[in-house]
């Protein structure tokens, strides 16, 4: 399937083309505003669909809204009519098409031009009135608060907020791309009526956006991760990370050492515990305590370890040996004292997960020999 993507230098187009080029059966042809519109006819001669993303939203003069949005769409439709085929078109309009301003009017006129093309040819036309699209590769300090805030916070620059309660409607670029691929393959998530829509949209405020992005920045110091596994926070986190410079790809975490070895906390979560690792020299025993509620998972990734357990009421004991050669999770059980001894001849390295962040005021760690 050969797809013409207009506005190929834009961030939505870049994300779309990368995804299409990952899939079998798709070939992309590009058109950008730097190219003369007379080239459209040659590009359209053998394409199977158009994803029309080209447009202007911050031109030097209002007249360029007409040429960059309405005029370009008219040229595209004329070229499509001349080719004599029913070529489907996906068009990114804007929620501002419902507003009485030069940008919105130019988008509305472009919509109407495409609807006339659909009526004349019977070709499918999918019009998306998108809210603010955010994601990797969006240009900061241009037309996106998310991109600008991500860039500034990630690079240590201040951000400006005029109204922290101002509402933001957002859609993530990966969700937009998913929807466009469904449209190209006739698998729309929603039935196309007057307008199509991306099924996953988010509502927030400017103030909440800034607080969330600042929390991502601060997590490198606190080691406490935000809930980045789903929804808007996941999408914002991925977007924020894409604005880090290569020099900021890595950061150090505190390391605590004593004659036994070292202990390093890697990551803490708000509701799912924390991750750490520690080392122990040959013959060293660590631990020797029990917990009332805290539980842990140990994974020896280097060396050989003997785990010892003792029930603090019955004095029942148990031990087992694991090594980095055969990855094995060993769990600590409330009410059982436990320790771990390096019984090998090399340094032992152990990954550790605890189900809660260590609280120095309530450590739930009571010394008790095994």
Measured distance CA(123)–CA(17) in Å, rounded:
23
* Token pair of 102 as six digits: 């030069």
Measured distance CA(120)–CA(86) in Å, rounded:
10
Cβ count within 10 A of residue 362: 10
Measured distance CA(191)–CA(182) in Å, rounded:
11
What SS3 class is residue 202?
strand
Question: Residue 144 contacts by C-beta under 8 Å, 6 or more apart in sequence?
Answer: 132, 133, 134, 138
Catalytic residue among 103, 117, 126, 240: 103
Residue whose C-alpha is closest to residue 208's, from 183, 185, 236: 236
Residue whose C-alpha is closest to residue 149's, from 237, 213, 216: 213
* Token pair of 145 as six digits: 């608060």
Q: Quick check: 334 and 321 in contact, CB under 8 A?
A: no
Q: Quick check: 348 and 262 in contact, CB under 8 A?
A: no
What SS3 class is residue 315?
coil
Residue 318 is a catalytic residue = no
Instruction: Give the start-end residues of each E strand in the chain.
Output: 2-6, 27-31, 49-52, 89-94, 125-130, 132-134, 167-172, 202-205, 224-225, 255-258, 261-269, 274-280, 285-290, 296-302, 304-311, 317-323, 329-332, 336-342, 348-354, 366-367
Residue whose C-alpha is closest to residue 76's, from 59, 102, 54, 103: 54
Question: Which active-site residues does the annotation give?
Answer: 103
């Amino acid at each position: 399937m050969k797809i013409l993507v207009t506005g190929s230098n834009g961030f939505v187009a870049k994300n779309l083309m990368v995804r299409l080029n990952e899939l079998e059966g798709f070939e992309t042809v590009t058109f950008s505003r730097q190219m003369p519109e007379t080239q459209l006819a040659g590009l359209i001669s053998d394409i199977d669909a158009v994803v029309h993303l080209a447009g202007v939203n911050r031109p030097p003069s209002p007249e360029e809204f007409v040429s960059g949005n309405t005029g370009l769409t008219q040229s595209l439709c004329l070229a499509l009519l001349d080719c004599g085929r029913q070529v489907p078109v996906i068009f990114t309009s804007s929620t501002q098409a419902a507003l009485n301003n030069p940008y919105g009017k130019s988008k509305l006129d472009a919509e109407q031009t495409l609807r006339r093309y659909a009526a004349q040819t019977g070709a499918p036309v999918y019009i998306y009135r998108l809210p603010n699209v955010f994601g990797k590769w969006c240009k900061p300090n241009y037309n996106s608060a998310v991109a600008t805030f991500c860039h500034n916070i990630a690079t240590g620059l201040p951000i400006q907020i005029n109204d922290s309660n101002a509402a933001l409607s957002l859609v993530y670029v990966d969700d937009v791309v998913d929807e466009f691929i469904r449209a190209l393959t006739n698998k729309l998530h929603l039935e196309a009526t007057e307008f199509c829509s991306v099924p996953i949209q988010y509502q927030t405020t400017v103030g909440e956006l800034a607080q969330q992005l600042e929390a991502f920045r601060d997590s490198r110091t606190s080691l406490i991760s935000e809930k980045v596994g789903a929804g808007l926070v996941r999408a914002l986190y991925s977007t924020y990370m894409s604005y880090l410079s290569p020099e900021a790809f890595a950061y150090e975490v505190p390391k605590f050492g004593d004659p036994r070895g070292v202990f390093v906390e890697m990551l803490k979560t708000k509701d799912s515990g924390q991750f750490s690792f520690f080392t122990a020299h040959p013959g060293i025993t660590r631990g020797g305590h029990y917990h009332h509620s805290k539980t842990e998972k140990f994974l020896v990734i280097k060396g050989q370890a003997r785990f010892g357990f003792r029930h603090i009421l019955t004095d029942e004991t148990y031990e087992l040996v694991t090594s980095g050669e055969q990855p094995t999770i060993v769990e600590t059980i409330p009410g059982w004292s436990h320790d771990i001894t390096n019984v090998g001849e090399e340094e032992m390295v152990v990954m550790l997960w605890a189900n809660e962040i260590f609280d120095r005021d309530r450590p739930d760690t009571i010394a008790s020999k095994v």
